[in-house]
Structure 1
Amino acid sequence: MDRRSFLRASALGSTAAATGLAAPAYAQGKRTLTLVTTWGRGLAGVHDSAQRCADMITAMSDGQLTIDLKAAGELVGAFEVFDAVTSGQADMYHGADYYFTGQHPGYAFFTATPFGMTAQELVNWYYYDGGMELHDKLGEVFNLKSFLGGNTGAQAGGWFRAEINGPEDFNGLKFRMPGLGGKALGYMGASVQNLPGAEVYQALASGAIDGTEWIGPWADEKAGFQEITKIYYPAGFHEPGAGLSLATNREVYDSLTPAQQKIIEVAAGEAHQNNLAQFLSNNGAALQRLIAGGVTVREFPDDVWDAFGAASQQVYDENMGDDLFKEIYESAQASMRSSSGWLTRSEGVYRAQRDRVLG
């Protein structure tokens, strides 16, 4: 029996045993919960979202829950937060769930997947087409209760030391890209690196990597990548609307009162929307500053986009043997196609016409 089946069987047994028993006992009094993050302290936007979650939970609970935020490296490393929370070493984490595809590839869908959902399509799926329930189903396997808790919007294709003229230019390229998008680049011959955000600048500056994606113009400018190279691709295939997650150890979550549980959910949802607005409101002006400072903006050629697509499908196909991955994939695809069918014909046409009319 695999772990998921075991946990489901245990849950059913617990439910049967609990019939007729008193309501669960909740921990009483003020509590401090430790929140670890995948972000270095001060990383533009992403650390802000984690801090907003922490501050809102503390404020909304009227101090009954105090969230003690530990940035990456202050308690555990950036990529260690998942294990820290599942094991109970920490109570909560804030991060990008696609860092944890090694635990299960289905986690990628709750951040971003190649040729996947935009930010709007992601929330449509999450709140109305079964995404939240699948996030919870996946969390049951790993002792987590998770919610969307941030969003960067569409992420840039990245910074390169040399222009990309064809798919062959990725062969041997040392490039930083996490998640399933990174897997796809690997199939195109790239040497893919998965580095925490706080380590990316130094790796690019030292030549340890030849290029990197991070987030978008505002966060990239704050990180200083324009000091190292001037070649920038604003459009990428890998993260069209990257969600961030706030996850709580399930035993800790279950020990909270229903009101406290709802506070975590609501705080995460508000942080998601606030964070998306934060990124999108800053990116346009930041891109103009980068261009004024000498950055040249490029677009990948069509044959590169075609290669991205073929490699991405290879990544999806290799994971279809996992039933839960397949379930999440099919749910996300169905929702995305439904949402896109309307958005393309309404907002998409409107925006194209607005740009044409207003210039």
Structure 2
Amino acid sequence: MERRSFIRRAGAATAVAVAVPSAVQAQATIRWRLASSFPKSLDTIYGAAEVFAKKVSDMSGGKFQVSVHAAGELMPAFGVVDGVQGATVEAAHTAPYYFFGKDPTFAVGCAIPFGLNSRQMTAWMFEGNGLKLMREFYARYNIVNLPGGNTGAQMGGWFRKEVKSLADVKGVKFRIGGFGGKVFERIGGVPQNIPGGEIYQSLEKGTIDAAEWVGPYDDEKLGFYKVAPNYAYPGWWEGGPELDFFINDKAYNALSAEYKAIVEAAASHAHVDMQAKYDARNPAALKRLVAGGAKLFRFPKDMMEAAFKEAMALYSELSASNPAWKKVYEDYATFRRDQNLWFRFTEAGFDDFMQQQKL
């Protein structure tokens, strides 16, 4: 009995050894810590880091382990750039635009108002100059970045009162993530930058008048509809926000070529996996929200036009004063122009027709 058990265990060990390339088998055992900017309750966006960690472990035969820590466990949600820069942790998973206060250029690597959609953002990063330009910028923070997910175009948030015109925005205290708040402020609103795990309490207590997060699947979990039932669309400040894995440059450069390839492949897998989950889960969540009393409304045209005008003016001002922004944004804007020309004839034309059909 014991002999048969030993043979089975030995056979299983051999199978694992065969499955893992010999080059990886020879690698040293590595342990990394990853700090997330998100709470565990948001399984889709926080979960991307867990997907990444699992793939790294699987592809290394368990020799490369990444422990994932939710916001607040090792450091605050908005402390992860400092954590990676100072090598307190080897990696982080975050939305780069949270750190626009350090430099507005962070926002271009995530989402800016009236920017690229998710497919266009991925194209700019992998086939355009996006990854090259952002890595040059992040190098000053000791960071190597890897695309780590995208939510797709987001909703416009939850309001106590429906916004029917630009005038209704005046004085509204609105939790809006990252860089979009700068444009919201220019059209009369009062932006508030609050971590995801603290939004509901702020909305419930009246500290803020409205809040946006991501979309139906996450918003339903956070319960915003209970205190602010008017649900706006579209989130013009987040047409395709990219999440990133930020890795300390010394930790990354110390990896073997094989381990670097594993990290990059795992990040790409997590990048695709996140949006697939959002696209699959948002429709049913939106139906449930509407059934529960959420009232959908579209942002009025005069508000959208005013926001667009102010966004373009802001970008011009930043290009005149910030060389890092200018270098990255000029390339981004050229790519956006060409992408919109292409999508106008293909994606938009097809989507417009299909969304009018009774299927």
Normalised by the length of structure 2, the TM-score is 0.90
Classify the secondary structure of the residue corresponding to 1:251. Answer: helix
Secondary structure, in 3 states, of the residue corresponding to 1:147? strand
SS at match of 2:298: coil
Which AA in structure 1 matches 2:227?
Answer: I
Distance 1:242 1:356 in 2: 27
Contact 1:115 1:237 in 2 (8 A): yes
Partner of 2:226: 227
Deviation string for 1:39-82 (max 9, x for gaps)? 01221311111111122112212222110111110010000010
Q: Which residue identity is paired with 1:346?
A: T
Q: Look up the equivalent residue of 2:296 and give its one-letter code.
A: V
CA apart distance, 1:304 = 0.7
1:42-61 to 2 correspondences below 5 Å: 42-61=41-60
In the other structure, the counterpart of 2:351 is 351
Q: Is the 8 A contact 1:43 1:198 kept in 2?
A: no
Q: 1: CA distance between counterparts of 2:161 and 2:271?
A: 35
The corresponding residue for 1:342 is 342
2:157 touches 2:232 (CA, 8 Å); kept in 1? Answer: yes
Aligned mates of 1:200, 1:114 — CA distance in 2 = 21
| Contact 2:177–2:213 (Cα < 8 Å) also in 1 | no
Structure 2: distance between partners of 1:353 and 1:88? 51
Q: Does 1:190 align with 2:197?
A: no
Q: Residue 28 of structure 2 aligns with which residue?
A: 29
Find the residue that maps to 2:46 and give its secondary structure.
helix
Q: What CA deviation, in whole Å up to 9, does each residue of 1:71-124 have, x standing for no partner?
A: 110010000010011001111000000011122211111211100000011011
Task: Give 3-state SS (helix, strand or coil) of 1:179's partner.
Answer: coil
Q: Which amino acid in 2 is paired with 1:202?
A: Q
Superposed CA deviations along residues 201-256 of structure 1, whole A, max 9, x for unmatched, are: 11111111100110001111111111112100131210001110001100010101
Partner of 2:127: 128
CA distance in 1, matches of 2:356, 2:186: 39
Letter in 1 for 2:352: A
Q: Is the 8 A contact 1:216 1:234 kept in 2?
A: no
- Partner of residue 65, structure 1: 64
The match for 1:23 is: none
What are the residue-to-residue correspondences of 1:14-25 with 2, within 5 Å? none
Answer yes or no: is the 8 Å Cα contact 1:35–1:70 preserved in 2.
yes
Partner AA of 2:156 in structure 1: G
Matched residue SS, 2:113: coil
3-state SS of 1:298 partner: strand
Q: Distance in 2 between matches of 1:33 and 1:301?
A: 47
Query: Structure 2 stretches of 5 or more lacking a match?
Result: 1-25
> What is the Cα deviation at residue 334 of structure 1?
1.2
Count of residues paired in the alignment: 333
Q: In the alignment, what sits opposite 2:248? A: 249
Q: Which residue of 2 aligns with 1:157?
A: 156
What is the RMSD of the two structures over their aligned residues, measured on CA atoms? 1.4
* CA–CA distance in structure 1, aligned partners of residues 354 and 279 of structure 2: 19
Structure 1 gaps, min length 5: 1-26
Report which stretch shifted further, 317-326 or 148-157: 317-326
Q: What residue number does 2:288 align with?
A: 289
Q: 2:7 maps to what in 1?
A: none
Q: Retained in 1: the 8 A contact 2:177–2:212?
A: no
**3-state SS in 2 of match to 1:115:** coil
1:200 corresponds to: 199
Query: Shift of the alpha carbon at 1:311?
Result: 2.2
Paired letter, 2:299: F
Q: Does residue 324 of structure 1 match 2:324?
A: yes
Relative to the length of structure 1, the TM-score reads 0.90
| 8 Å CA contact retained: 2:164, 2:300 | yes
How far did 1:355 drift? 3.1
Whether the 8 Å contact between 2:185 and 2:191 is mirrored in structure 1 is yes
Q: Aligned partners of 1:188, 1:302: CA distance in 2, in Å? A: 13
CA distance in structure 2 between the partners assigned to 1:170 and 1:256 by the alignment: 50
Tell me by how many angstroms 1:357 deviates. 4.5
Q: Which moved more, 1:339-348 or 1:254-263?
A: 339-348
Cα separation, 2, equivalents of 1:190 and 1:117: 24
What is the identity, as a one-letter code, of the residue corresponding to 2:121?
L
Q: Partners in 1 of 2:190 and 2:339 — Cα distance?
A: 35
- Residue 262 of structure 1 and its aligned partner are, at CA, apart by 1.4
How far is the alpha carbon of 1:341 from its aligned partner?
1.4
Residue type at the aligned position of 2:88: Q
Contact 1:180 1:315 in 2 (8 A): no
Match of 2:94 in 1: 95
Shift of 1:189: 2.2
User: Does the 8 A contact of 1:36 with 1:90 survive in 2?
Assistant: yes
**Partner SS state of residue 179, structure 2:** helix
What corresponds to 2:80 in structure 1?
Answer: 81
1:42–1:48 CA contact under 8 A, matched in 2:
no
Q: Is the 8 A contact 2:98 2:179 kept in 1?
A: no
d(CA) in 2 for partners of 1:356, 1:67:
46
1:168 shift after superposition: 2.1
Aligned residue for 2:84, secondary structure, equals helix
Contact 1:159 1:230 in 2 (8 A): yes
Once the two structures are TM-superposed, the CA of residue 28 in structure 1 deviates from its matched residue by 6.2
| Pairs within 5 Å for 1:256-271 | 256-271=255-270
Percent identical: 34
**Conserved in 2, the CA contact under 8 Å of 1:110 and 1:148?**
no
**Structure 2 partner of 1:238:** 237
